[in-house]
Amino acid sequence: MTRTTITKGSGNVFRDLGFSEEKSAELILKSSLLQALQETIKGRGWKQVEAAAQLGIDQAKVSKLLAGQMAGFSIERLVHFLSLLGQDVEVTVRKAPRGRRRGKVRTRRSKTHKIPA
């Protein structure tokens, strides 16, 4: 029987994969926005062509978004897409707790998040 070594993650998959703190923070935010966009599109039961028309992009780009491809889509663009779909996006900035020199980037979905039809 082969033994498998399991390493406990840090809670930040992008840092665990070797990305810098800065890039990791960007990827956390982008992936959360992308997930919200995917859930909104799927929740409405739209075909890719319908989503493309609502977002003002071509179907091929919607296909990439739904497949989880973040490359080529900035944070600003993902926020814009969500706003076009009637979603509010909030960013909160606050001082890091005492004893921690650097801030963290976290995302949190609203408990009242519902996907309107």
pLDDT of res. 65: 97
Look up residue 99 and give its DSSP letter. Answer: T
Instruction: Kindly tell me if the per-residue pLDDT of 103 is higher than 90.
Output: no
So what CATH class is 20-84?
A: mainly alpha
pLDDT tens digits, one per residue of 57-100:
999 999 999 999 999 999 999 999 999 999 999 888 888 888 87
Q: What is the pTM of this model?
A: 0.78
Query: Percent of the chain beyond pLDDT 70?
Result: 89
Q: How confident is the model at residue 114 (pLDDT cuts 50, 70, 90)?
A: low
